[in-house]
Structure 1
Amino acid sequence: MWRSAIISGIWRWQGLALMTVSIVVSIWLAATGQLIRYIHPRYVLFTVIMAVIGLALVAASFLPRASHDHDGRPSGTGAVLAGIATAATLTLAATLMILPPATLSSATADQRVINSTGVRTDGASVDDVSSATDAAVASFSVLDWASLLRQTSDVAFYDGKPASVVGFIARHPDDPENMFYLSRFVITCCAVDAQPVGVLVYLENWEGTFAVDEWVAVEGGFGANPSRQSTQPIVLVPADIIVTEQPTEPYLYWWAFSRRACPAATSSAVRSPPSWSR
């Protein structure tokens, strides 16, 4: 009986250890600002609160409890599976804490297809942008421009609306030698549902200067697409393009976009995104 009790105790403490490790890793990622690489920022506070509650429950489980003769004893197979699960969890936890989270790349963007999502109804509309201030237009992100380009291909609409955006380079299949997508991933809930959006940039022989997945800052204006191989009517023609560091927050988020659904608004309650997020 004593042997069964020992094995049962090990089984119990093993589960508590796994829960503790998972909770601590979640809190650590939130404290270091890395949790937003995995989930939408609006869920960070909720995740931390639930992690703290979970930690309290784990602590409560350390309180003495009555012993029962019928406490379950894991089978040999169950013990092996539990050991494998423990090793996998500890390995994953160590990896998350030691290695920086990898940002989704152009390979993922190709798999999920850039601009495959529909135009959001809560996004900036053509009517809103027509009356937007220069400062509002200057703050537009890749997501803003990608949404507008899917709403209208009227070149005249983009006159006097220069773009200043940051993103990573992804190939465009129509004319890969002279065109590329300036891309970002947009998160609704977590990185699993991240969707790539992009603005098409026309730059002849761009691979002679830049590389796929390289982060660049582009300033320029929109105009008719000079490529004969592409059916896309409008492209961003860069006046200046430089290599830049990956932003601290490489992803864009739907709620940030909907906050600026009416860029002409000047309410102090609407906070424009920092320049590195464009």
Structure 2
Amino acid sequence: MWRSVQRWRGVVIIGAMAAVILWLAVSGQLALYIHPRYNIFAVLMAVIAVVLVVGSLVGRRHHDDEDAPPPPRLQRAIALTAAALAGAFTVGMIVVPPATLSTATAEQREINSTAASDAAAFEAATTADADAVAQFTVREWATILRQTSDLSFFANKPVTELVGFITPDSDDPENVFYVSRFVVTCCAVDAQPLGVPVYLPGWSQSFSADDWVMVDGSFSSNPSSASLQPVVVVPDAVTPIEQPREPYLF
């Protein structure tokens, strides 16, 4: 029994993990875990793993240690526990639906702490035409807000169909929330939250944290005396929407 477990535990776990990766890729959910540029690599490695697993299952190998005594009980217990945890993790990946990072993670990692101070991007935004401004996402606006609070910069630059999930402002959660998105460089582990502050008193009567919304409006000085954000979006419309197929920005 022990030798069978020892011999096949790695093969079974590797096969299960490869199957999970392939399932996530086919269902279009692999981007919830890794940057899309790594999808092909991950799928290719999973296919290779499946081929090797199948080869190990159908191949016949002679083991010289068939008559060797089993390892000490503690060593067996540790090995079985590790295999059980790995198996439970693999099963959990299949049974529990994949979920995006949420407000709880955004608050732990501090919104806009990694917003880029990109002079070239700021200069491009200064001269952008109306069509380009209309395509700005949370990433572009967060970068701009990090570099200026001059309201003259935002003149004739309305916010159009800005998509993100709601994260309450920690300083004035009753009146201000962020339209937030996570930016992923490699995988969900390194995802960093960016957000654009929106001034909407009593917003929690119509929305909840983590709700996905689309915001249209314009920038203005922040009417809130408690919030630390000097410039906010004063919305013309806040529309509830479904979570996008790709919730992260890359």
* 2:48 is equivalent to residue 53 of structure 1: yes
Report the equivalent of 1:90. 87
Q: Which amino acid aligns with 2:13?
A: L
C-alpha RMSD over aligned residues:
2.1
Percentage identity across paired residues of the two chains = 48
- The partner residue of 1:185 within 182, 186, 199 is 182
Distance 1:252 1:211 in 2: 22
Cα distance between partner residues in 2 of 1:9 and 1:206? 59
Query: Quick check: 2:115–2:194 contact (8 Å CA) kept in 1?
Result: no
Partner of residue 205 from structure 1, selected from 202, 205, 221: 202
Name 2:211's counterpart in structure 1: 214
Q: Deviations over 1:46-92 (max 9, x none)?
A: 11111112222223334223432488644322332333233323322
- Residue pair 2:199, 2:235 contacting (<8 A) in 1 also: yes
Q: TM-score, normalised on structure 2?
A: 0.90
1:125-144 equivalences under 5 Å are 125-144=121-140
Q: Determine if the alignment matches structure 1 residue 77 to structure 2 residue 67.
A: no
1:271 corresponds in structure 2 to none
**Unpaired stretches in structure 2, ≥5 consecutive residues:** none
SS at match of 2:97: coil
1:156 paired to 2:134: no
Contact 1:220–1:237 at 8 Å: present in 2 too?
yes
Larger RCO, structure (CA 8 Å, separation 6 or more): 1
1:229 equivalent among 223, 226, 232 = 226
Answer yes or no: is the 8 Å Cα contact 2:198–2:233 preserved in 1.
Answer: yes
Partner amino acid, structure 2, of 1:38:
Y
Rounded to whole Å, the distance in 1 between the matches of 2:63 and 2:96 is 42
What letter corresponds to residue 191 of structure 2 in structure 1? A
- Please say which of residues 123-132 and 18-27 is displaced more in the overlay: 123-132
Q: Which runs of 5+ in 1 are unaligned?
A: 1-5, 254-278
Q: CA separation in 2, counterparts of 1:176 and 1:224?
A: 17
The answer to whether the 8 A contact 1:170-1:180 is kept is: yes
- Corresponding letter in the other structure for 1:14: R
Distance 1:10 1:212 in 2: 46
Give secondary structure in 2 for the equivalent of 1:223: strand
